[in-house]
A and B are shown apart, each in its own frame.
Chain A
Amino acid sequence: MESVIIILAGILVMIATYLFLSRNLIRIILGSALLSHAVHLLLMAMGGLKKGGPPLLGEELKTYTDALPQALILTAIVINFAVTAIFLVLAYRTYQKTGTDNLNALRGFKDE
């Protein structure tokens, strides 16, 4: 299971990288969303999968899955959300101001 998830995350990284290299602002933001998904999956897989019950003590289980990666991912999800929000608003303002979402056109001073 872990290997499958890691390969899946790797493929997501591949897609995200391809999106990053494009010229369109929205594609890049989508890429960053996909990249964060991949990283969350990797974190999860590294902690070991399905090696016990959910980390809730009331369940009276012998073993629990590793709770630490879950806490880390939870933090990462929230931070990633904040960053994505900023990105999106920035993209909106950029388009409003410059009238384009093509990165090649957003190159600053022309004769520099």
Chain B
Amino acid sequence: MLTINLAIFIPFLAAIFIPFINNRFKQTHIGWFILVVPVVLFIALLRFIPTIARGETYINSSQWIPSYGIEFTTYLDGLSMIFGLLITGIGSLVILYSIYYLSTKESLTHFYIYLLLFMGAMLGVIFSDNLMALYVFWELTSISSFLLIAFWYHRKQSRYGAKKSLLITVSGGFAMLASFIMIYAMTGTLSIREIASSIDSISDHALFIPALILLLIGAFTKSAQFPFHIWLPDAMEAPTPVSAYLHSATMVKAGIYLVARFTPIFGGGDLWFWLVSGVGIITLFVGSFFAVKQTDLKALLAYSTVSQLGMIMSMLGFGSAALHAGYSPKSVVYTQAVFAALFHLVNHSTFKGALFMVIGIIDLQMGTRDIRRLGGLISLMPVSFTIAMIGSFSMAGLPPFNGFLSKEMFFTSALNVSNLDIFSLNTWGTLFSVIAWGASVFTFVYCMIIVFKTFFGEYKGRHHENKQFEPPIGMLISPIILGLFVVGIFFFPNLVGKYLIYPALGHIFPSMTLQLDAYSITAWHGFNTELMMTIAIVLVGGFLYLTLHRWRGVYRLFPETRSFDAVYNHSLSGMEKGSAKLTKLYMTGFLRDYLVYIYLFLVAVTGGVFIYTGAFSFDLSQDSPVSSYEWIFVVIILTAGFAILFAKSRLTAILLNGVIGFSIAFFFVLFRAPDLALTQTIIETVTTVLFLLCFYFLPEWKKESSPPSSKITNMLISVAVGLIFIVIGLSVNSGNLFEQVSLFFEDADELAGGNNIVNAILGDFRAFDTMLEVVVLFIGGIGVYSILKLKKWKGEENIEGD
């Protein structure tokens, strides 16, 4: 039997073979081979329906990173079943549609590789039980969506849309990852099933609220909820099959899935309720309100998708109240909200997929999808018109289409919420019904725009020369099938309810015993408030549609420059400019500035730590006495040192440096270090010679012309550095922590056969240092030689540009 683990990898495997197949069968459209994959998966999933409907679940586990508790576990239950069927089912139809939509001149291998990548990732998201596996697949959907949006990468708008969607969804994905890590910190497991069973013990945990909010940010960005909805309209630059598949039916529902999956974990509290239903209802209204404004059909559908997703999200929020109320005959009405959410999820996928495909056909046949240039297509494209009408009327919530049922159920749940006496809903709850009704009016208006502005009115034929209007039949198959589903679900809603949605409910409300009878859907339920609301929507919406030209000016109150898109664009360019400014501010290109930073940091950190820990200690009692010889050399060195600062000529400076070097050699004599004195004398001589040689070629020593203020800064910094050096040196010298180790080396005669202890250390005890020191000298010699000898750069281009 095909396990779900393997099923997820079938699309990925198929993606690998696409280039080979394409090379082998150049005559055939590659899509026909791809079509096999989702169809097989769909049929394989269909076979699970009877057992899933009985409440069984399937778990397959395989090791991935066992040491971190990361397993690749798949979990097939009622909830993932709905999504699995949508992904594979609509995936099949979309691929069939794309075979006719995309010509063989396009880079089809890329298209189908990305699409299969997306399909596999999406299946991974919904079937994964392990949080980390879920996150991996989640990001993979973002990436494949990015690739698909920018499929026509030579267009600037495509690249813009792809970047925007990637930035927003990946930021959300990061928030979700943080939330997952917090969940792991709270529960110690990454398995969603185990987390759900141990949730009672963590709901008081300090990380509970942050994890909840971050998870919702992930879900809201993916599902284009307010205010993260801005990426979806720009993602419409993708080819239409992609818009139909990713940006209406599947990927944008990943957030819905996440919220539904985590409802048993986080749901039940008022924060979850208010965030999910509140954001959902705002998204519903904003999406439907701005959809009316659009003139591009795909943009209109994008806003309508945003709005419908908000509706599903708000219903999930309403349903979470049931977890708070606990099981009672009364709280069943809240679980009905989740039932309605999942029901509308299925419905939305059917009618929105069909609508996108029809608009793709219109775009392809007429060369435009601008409403202002379309009209009068009803007699030219009767089949497309029928499908568009079915889809739009269903979206508007009219009978006899499935949208009517879900809209009625939506109103029922919105009305029920205001009866709830928790979360202070009895005061604010009514707002939900009011906003829901208002949003539905706008939904009705834009649905009418799709149908009447496109297919009715005057035919504007001069804009194109295409004579064959109805597309090839193959292109129409997929939207026809979806249209049949739209009508079919209206007449047999309980089939969907019983076999798909009811099994999922048990996993969202694991603690409750739910009766199937409570969830039967009837198309006719008497004259009640919901029906009155729908009738009012038709009346008010119809009136608003007919007077559209009169109140369109209202949208001028919401100019583009103040939209969330503008906020996104400004913040992006603002960040770029800000970081450029910041970098320019401190990266001046002047060595002195960088040295000042380094010294200030040194002074602040070492000095700060010194003062903070109070580590000063001066103990002069251990000091050996100072003789007059030594005082003389101290004075010589100090004089020479300060004189360097005031030296007029470089020759003076170099001789003064020599004086210091030879005085130090003298100190080495006084300090009983004969080898050091020898070396210092020789090295100092050679260095002085080198300096003098170099000076022969260098220009005259110029007077420092820096402004007095920077001279004072330099002085302050150097005094501070010197003082810190002195203070630390003295304090370290005063505290004798342990005896010296050098007594060991005094056995040099026995151990190494040498009388000179220093030489024994250099050549025997610690000869490794010496060897590498020789290497340094060697490299220095090669360096000097090559810097002097290499003449190649003379022919090079002058990079300074002067």
Contact = CB atoms under 8 A, between A and B. Distances in A.
Interface of A: 1-24, 26-27, 29-30, 33-34, 37-38, 40-42, 44-58, 64-68, 70-71, 73-75, 77-79, 81-86, 88-93, 95-98, 100-104, 107-110, 112
Given A11-B641, A15-B645, A64-B757, A82 B729 contact: no
A98 B595 contact: no
Interface in B729-746: 729-730, 732-733, 740-742, 745-746
B24 interface: no
Contact of A70 (B589, B623, B719, B758): B758
B61 interface: no
A29 B732 CA distance: 29
Interface of B: 589-592, 595-596, 599, 618, 620, 622-626, 630, 634, 637-638, 641-642, 644-645, 650, 653-654, 657, 660-661, 664, 667-668, 670-676, 679-680, 683, 686-687, 690-691, 693-695, 697-699, 701-702, 704, 706, 714-715, 717-719, 721-723, 725-726, 729-730, 732-733, 740-742, 745-746, 748-749, 754-758, 761-762, 766, 769-770, 773, 776-777, 779-781, 783-784, 787-788, 793, 799-802
B686 A81 contact: yes
B679 A77 contact: yes
B471 to A, nearest CB: 55
A105 B725 CA distance: 32
A84 B670 CA distance: 26
A17 B599 contact: yes
Given A57-B746, A81-B686, A88-B690, A1 B676 contact: no
6 contacts: A2-B622, A5-B667, A33-B661, A64-B757, A78-B777, A109-B800
Contacts, number: 277
B667 A44 contact: yes
Contact of A89 (B664, B717, B777, B784): B784
Contacts of A79: 773, 776-777
Nearest 3 pairs of A and B residues by beta carbon: A14-B722, A82-B780, A10-B726
A1 B706 CA distance: 38
B729 A70 contact: no
A95 B696 CA distance: 12
A97 B645 CA distance: 28
Contact of B592 (A21, A26, A34): A21
Given A14-B719, A50-B672, A55-B757, A30 B657 contact: yes
A1 B722 contact: no
A7 B726 contact: yes
A93 B788 contact: yes
Contacts of B706: 22-23
Contacts of B618: 3
A23 B748 CA distance: 49
A40 B663 CA distance: 13
A14 B758 CA distance: 31
A89 B698 CA distance: 11
Given A13-B725, A45-B729, A54 B673 contact: yes
A16 to B, nearest CB: 8
A14 B716 CA distance: 10
B265 to A, nearest CB: 53
Contact of A1 (B625, B650, B723, B793): B625
Contact of B701 (A11, A26, A83, A108): A26
Nearest to B703: A24
A79 B423 CA distance: 75
B687 to A, nearest CB: 6
Nearest to A109: B801
Nearest to B700: A101
B729 A75 contact: no
Contacts of B773: 75, 78-79
A20 B683 CA distance: 22
A4 to B, nearest CB: 6
Contacts of B780: 81-83, 85-86
Contacts of A92: 694, 697-698, 788
A84 B687 CA distance: 8
Contacts of A91: 694, 698
Contacts of A66: 740, 742
A61 B687 CA distance: 36
B783 A65 contact: no
A106 to B, nearest CB: 8
A21 B595 contact: yes
